[in-house]
Structure 1
């Protein structure tokens, strides 16, 4: 392995039923920005906020697609500077908040929000005092 070779980032790809509606939710409720769609009709977009990207990929109508049932597993986790402030922002915009911010035994203060397709997003900040 080369000393200069690095993996610099990872971008989640979430499967959605309707990419236009999903993009509107990420924009209107979660404060992301969507600049363009790909496909005719639209099938793909990238939502961005503060240097973080989330790809939204629409499944074909005939594909079997089951949104995440609540089982406590996150589709993605957002490491943020202030979970309480972001919770307040999301709540004010009408996002589907699953639970309010709480301190976790693994030294994160976090809350959960769900998108239109049932994807569970964890949102939290470090409370270990090591940052």
Structure 2
């Protein structure tokens, strides 16, 4: 039974990226970055929900490749997604070992995070940051 006085809570979120080839992209996220997926949706496949460590990322195959526009191409240094992590250096080492395309290596940012970024098959920038100064 639902408690009418309890405040509803957000329980998860998922960035959604448009990609050129949903199967190739999902497999890249799996092989290079350790994400998993349970299934593709539709026939032919055009959508997938990736997950890793309780985090989610959705990929939707674009109807037209011109619609795949990484954010950094329209706004300098802007990511398409950002994940907070427990150990940026260890995750970076894992991604390097798995062949991920590193956009920039681990560095300390003025906003209190040690982070690095990757680019996926479509050029989307995804950053992974560890809070090192919680101020």
TM-score (norm 1): 0.90
1:45 and 1:55 mapped to 2: Cα distance?
A: 6
Structure 2: 5+ residue stretches without partners: none
Answering whether residue 69 of structure 2 is matched by residue 64 of structure 1, we say: no
TM superposition shift of 1:65: 1.3
Answering whether residue 29 of structure 2 is matched by residue 26 of structure 1, we say: yes
2:91 and 2:31 mapped to 1: Cα distance?
A: 14
1:129 and 1:47 mapped to 2: Cα distance?
A: 29
2:25 and 2:12 mapped to 1: Cα distance?
A: 23
1:41 and 1:66 mapped to 2: Cα distance?
A: 19
Alignment partner, residue 42 of structure 1? 45
Answering whether residue 17 of structure 2 is matched by residue 14 of structure 1, we say: yes
Aligned alpha-carbon RMSD (Å): 1.8
1:129 and 1:3 mapped to 2: Cα distance?
A: 29
TM superposition shift of 1:6: 2.1
Structure 1: 5+ residue stretches without partners: none
TM-score (norm 2): 0.88
Which aligned segments of 4 or more residues in structure 1 are displaced greater than 4 angstroms?
none
1:129 and 1:117 mapped to 2: Cα distance?
A: 33
Mapped contact 2:19–2:68 kept (Cα < 8 A) = no
**SS of 1:6's equivalent?**
coil
TM superposition shift of 1:115: 0.5
TM superposition shift of 1:129: 5.7
Q: How many pairs does the alignment contain?
A: 129
**SS of 2:117's equivalent?**
strand
TM superposition shift of 1:80: 0.3
Greater fraction helix? 2
